[in-house]
Amino acid sequence: MTVQSPPNQALQPELDRRPTRIAFSQKLGKWDVKLSPYLYISPFFILFAITGLFPLLYTGYISVHEWHTLGGKGAFVGLDNFTAVLDQATFWKALRNTFSIFLLSSVPQVIAAIIIAAILNANIRAKTFWRMGVLLPYVVAPIAVGLIFSRIFGDQFGLVNALLDGIGLDPVRWHSDAFASHFAIATMVNFRWTGYNTLIFLAAMQAIPGELYEAAIIDGAGRIRQFFSITIPQLRATIMFVVITSTIGGLQIFDEARAFDAQGRGGGDKQWMTLTMYIQDLGWGNQLNFGRAAAVAWLLFLVIIAIGIVNFLITSRISTAGTKTPKTSKKAKKVKL
Amino acid sequence: MATPISSLPVIAQTSGKGAAKWAARRAEKAAGANRRPGWVTYLLLGIVIAISAFPLYYVILLASSDQVTISQTVIPGLLPQGNFWNNVQTVLNGPYPIGKAFMNSLIIAVLQSVSVVVFSTLAGYSFAKLRFRGRGPLLVFVIATMAVPTQLAVVPLFIVMTKLNLNNTIAAVIIPGMVTAFGVFWMTQYLENALPYELIEAARVDGASMIRTFWNVAIPAARPAAAMLALFTFIGSWVNYFWPFIILSAQNPTLPMVTKLLQSGYHTDYSLIMAGVAISTAPLLVLFFLAGRQLVAGIMQGAVKG
């Protein structure tokens, strides 16, 4: 650009045509400003409506009909599918298994993640190395994790049984005992997700303002006391986040349980069949009954919502009983941004 | 890293000099402990890392063994044996369509990552920086849908895909994963802080249209978060099993599906199963070593913002 020549001269010829142009482009611009925001968010909402919301509601419609996987829709049957499913022992077994695996995976996982995060939060050398190290299992597919651990928890030539034998204990029948199989499957979930949650907790710990620790140190609080009186209360919002996401994921567990043996049907006595496996079995397995599969899907949906509400109530109860209000922790987070 | 305690003068004023002295001494002690942790910390971390890496090493140990050894021992030795490439060859040349599965997984993961990033950046920009009616409630809706277990909607999704003649096509796998509520939320959060209003205004004053402003101002600002989102979407897509397993056939599988097929196909020879696990895990391991730093940063940023 030549700075010397006045720009007016160059624009002069265009000035005559300007008024009409502005009017037109202004109108266009107005619509541009008004419509663009909706246009930009519409792909998400349209696709979500088609592949998320509609199927979820449609599940309800299917669940009150007789519906064969291949034959298609039949008569309206009201809640028959639900009562039929609730009458089956397999449903209750699958519900029990799902809860058992979920509890065995979520609770130890959160505790372990917080402890490892606290260790990582020390002023260690080679931070990135250790952080990447704990995240490594995250890139292994759940199906692959299932295949690896079904050998580690093998009844014969399994690593865990060999270790138990080494310290003089009896081998565990991982694939026939219900609780043992739940423990093994929960271990797979823990293996893959503990590191991921550790990093979430670590980030939250780093956002805790140093003054809180400073004050505690002056008051003579030791390391352990600081951890329980400052770190844990400050992590409350994060704990809630992790617990809720692990609830949503944990109650839908499928891959690991399916890979626990070659058949993938939850064991001879269905001792580790989860609700999602049950849905798959009803819809695409032996029964080919979409109506009942949809009924179980809705029941599982309700269970997840119920657990979510319980989670929320418990966590907010704790937060009102705690020493620090959640507001402080939110502020602390903002500061880190 | 011993930072002097700022509240000391206050303590001296309110509680006397003696209290301040004690506080200073305690602080010094604590700061000393804060400098560099001792070997116990590294030992504990070493154990954690060993636990998270061992199963992968175990895969190599088993995959480099052979049928006879593996069916008679718990562990075929502490070092890998020489049979690894042999087993990999056997699996690759076996009856299971691993090459096809690899291509399917790759196409699905790439297309889903691109689509999620594009649509999330658009929506995130709109939510974070543009004013429009219903913005607040719509954003709340997006966040609420993050908690909706859409996996439970497999039955109608299957019916819809069958009606559309998409059964057993990778399009049926791709379409439901083209947008995620998490992606929109992630980009909204990021752009809210990373993109100053002044830049947008400047572009608008210069006469740029809305889409041009998005293209020239929002996209460059969104790049770091978009890269992380692409990474997480890619991994999530690569390891996804449930829906592909429902909608695809064993002849047209994804990598996790074919890995599972190996389990029943080679149940007499675990070294081959583990070779299959190694094949399906290797691409993500490479990605992990290239971009592990970004993964760590992404999770930690997401946590602080979420």
Portions of chain A given CATH number 1.10.3720.10: 83-336
A193 reaches B (C-beta below 8 A) = no
* CA atoms of A279 and B276, how far apart (whole Å): 28
Which of A132, A145, A210 lies nearest to residue B293, judging by beta carbons? A132
Q: What whole-number distance in Å separates Cα of residue B6 and Cα of residue A332?
A: 18
Scored b (16 or more CB within 10 A) or e, A166-193 reads eeeeeebebbebbebbbbbbbbbbbbbb
List pLDDT tens digits, range B238-290: 999 999 999 999 999 999 999 999 988 888 788 899 999 999 999 999 999 99
Per-residue pLDDT band at B146 (split at 50, 70, 90): confident
**Residues of B in Cβ contact (< 8 Å) with A290:** 155, 159
Check CB contact under 8 Å for B284 and A140. yes
CATH number among 1.25.40.10, 1.10.3720.10, 1.10.10.60, 2.40.50.140, domain A83-336: 1.10.3720.10
Report the first-to-last Cα separation within chain B, whole angstroms. Answer: 29
Phi/psi at A158 (5° precision): -85, 150
Each residue's pLDDT, cut to its tens digit, for chain A (337 residues) gives 334 444 444 444 444 445 555 566 677 778 888 888 999 999 999 999 988 889 888 999 999 998 988 888 888 888 889 999 999 999 999 999 999 999 999 899 999 999 999 999 988 888 999 999 999 999 999 999 999 999 999 888 889 999 998 998 999 999 989 999 999 999 999 999 999 999 999 999 998 998 888 888 888 888 888 888 889 888 888 888 888 888 888 889 999 999 998 888 888 889 999 999 999 999 998 888 999 999 999 999 888 888 878 877 876 766 555 444 444 443 333 333 3
Nearest to B303 among A52, A143, A204 (CB): A204
Q: Note the pLDDT of residue A318.
A: 62
Most confident of A263-267, B8-12, B13-17, B99-103: B99-103
Residue B56 contacts A where some CB pair is shorter than 8 Å: yes
Please tell me the predicted confidence (pLDDT) of residue B18: 76
B27 in contact with chain A, both atoms CB, cutoff 8 A: yes
Top-confidence residue, B45 or B304: B45
Three-state secondary structure readout of chain A = CCCCCCHHHHHHHHHCCHHHHHHHHHHHHHHHHHHHHHHHHHHHHHHHHHHHHHHHHHHHHHHCEEEECCCEEEEECCCHHHHHHHHCHHHHHHHHHHHHHHHHHHHHHHHHHHHHHHHHCCCCCCHHHHHHHHHHHHHCCHHHHHHHHHHHCCCCCCHHHHHHHHCCCCCCCCCCCHHHHHHHHHHHHHHHHHHHHHHHHHHHHHCCCHHHHHHHHHCCCCHHHHHHHHHHHHCHHHHHHHHHHHHHHHCCCCHHHHCCCCCCCCCCCCCCCCHHHHHHHHHHCCCCEHHHHHHHHHHHHHHHHHHHHHHHHHHHHHHHHCCCCHHHHHHHHHHHC
Are the C-beta atoms of residues A41 and B127 closer than 8 Å to each other?
A: yes
Residue B206 DSSP one-character state: T
For residue B81, the distance in angstroms to the closest alpha carbon of chain A comes to 18
Q: Which residue has the higher pLDDT, B115 or B70?
A: B115
Q: Write out chain B residues lying below 8 Å of A262, CB-based.
A: 263-264, 267
- The superfamily CATH assigns to domain B98-305 is MetI-like (1.10.3720.10)
pLDDT given for residue A299 in this prediction: 92
Six-digit token string for B25 = 């001494």
Residue range B95-120: mean pLDDT, rounded = 95
- Looking at chain B from residue 96 to 115, which residues have their Cβ under 8 Å from any Cβ of chain A? none
Contact call for A157 and B156, based on CB within 8 A: no
SS3 B140: helix
| Angle B131-B137-B142 from CA coordinates, rounded to 5° | 100
Q: What is the pLDDT of residue A214?
A: 85
Task: Kindly report the nearest CA distance between residue A333 and chain B, in angstroms.
Answer: 6
Beta partners for residue A72, in sequence order: A68
Q: Does B163 touch chain A (CB under 8 A)?
A: no
Greater confidence (A210 vs B32) lies with: A210
Report the alpha-carbon distance of residue A41 to residue B214 in Å, rounded: 13
Report the percent of chain B where pLDDT is more than 70. 92
Cα–Cα distance, A255 to A267 (Å, whole number): 14
Rounded Cα distance, B152 and B78, in Å:
43
Q: Is A164 part of the contact surface with chain B (CB cutoff 8 Å)? A: no
| pLDDT attached to residue A10 | 42
Contact residues, chain A, for B42 at CB < 8 Å: 124
Interface touch A214/B27, C-beta < 8 Å: yes
Residues 6+ apart with CB under 8 A from B71: A157, B268, B269, B270
Q: Report domain extents, chain B.
A: 1-36, 40-82, 98-305
- In angstroms, the first-to-last Cα distance of chain A is 40
Amino acid at B299: I
In 3D space, the residue among A283, A272, A140, A298 whose CA is nearest the CA of residue B247 turns out to be: A283
**For residues B242, B244, B248 and B251, what is the CA-based torsion angle, rounded to 10 degrees?**
-90
Side-chain-facing half-sphere of A21: CA atoms under 13 Å? 5
Confidence (pLDDT) at A6: 43
Q: What's the confidence (pLDDT) of residue B280?
A: 93
Question: Tell me, what's the ipTM?
Answer: 0.86
Q: What is the pTM of this model?
A: 0.86
User: What is the distance between the alpha carbons of residues A37 and A47, in angstroms, rounded to a whole number?
Assistant: 17
